[in-house]
Amino acid sequence: MPLVRGKLNIIYEDKDVLVIDKPAGVKADDFEKRVHRLDKDTSGILLIAKNDESLNFFQKQFKERKIIKKYLALVEGKIKESQGRIETLIGRAPKDRRKQKVYLPFEPKAKGKRKAISEFKVLTHLRQGFDRQERYYTLVEVLPKTGRKHQIRCHFAFLGHPIAGDKLYGFKNQLCPKGLSRQFLHASYLEIKLPDSKVKIFCSDLSKDLKEVLKNLKTHPV
């Protein structure tokens, strides 16, 4: 896909890299030499290499887990712990080839599946509605230590707290918070070394649609 700059929110650019604030609805796969992937309905920071040398340079950092990524996610229900670590194996779901599935090491089908690690910190608890109609949510900051496909979405569904608005991994008949039309997942932070050896930090504020969703919710104690 050619880079139509007038339609991109560019966070940073030099001769080696272009960092954009990807809107929801745009496929990361459409960009040539993308260094990593974001799901179509996930917004936020996307790193695009401008030449083969820088592509190899960045991919090596991702492979060696030398980069730091952070995401903001709104998940269903109350997570009572202030922080946590999810460490499992992940592989393709046999009953739905679109999805990934968590496998535990002792399972017979776990052989050959890849390790996936996500750490998270609870930022706030929220609710919508009143009395018996109340629904609860938790806003979390997630630090994926590995980069498996659908890792965050799969991990939080495994915990029983799927990402709000996630039609693929959510509960059957899962209701969305008011105003949410896609999964509430945003790539908000990226720290990486550039080919010139400088370490750069890139940040992205929540997109307008996700900010509106939070405005419609009320804070709630655990």
Q: Which residues are 125's β-sheet partners?
A: 138
Catalytically annotated residue among 39, 41, 166, 209:
39
Active site residue 166: no
CA angle 103, 106, 111 (to 5 degrees): 60
- CA dist list (Å): 98 to 87, 95, 111: 22, 9, 20
Question: Which contacts qualify for 161-164: CB closer than 8 Å, 24 or more apart?
Answer: 161/75, 161/76, 161/77, 161/79, 162/75, 162/76, 163/73, 163/74, 163/75, 163/76, 164/74, 164/75, 164/76, 164/137, 164/213
- Active-site positions read 39
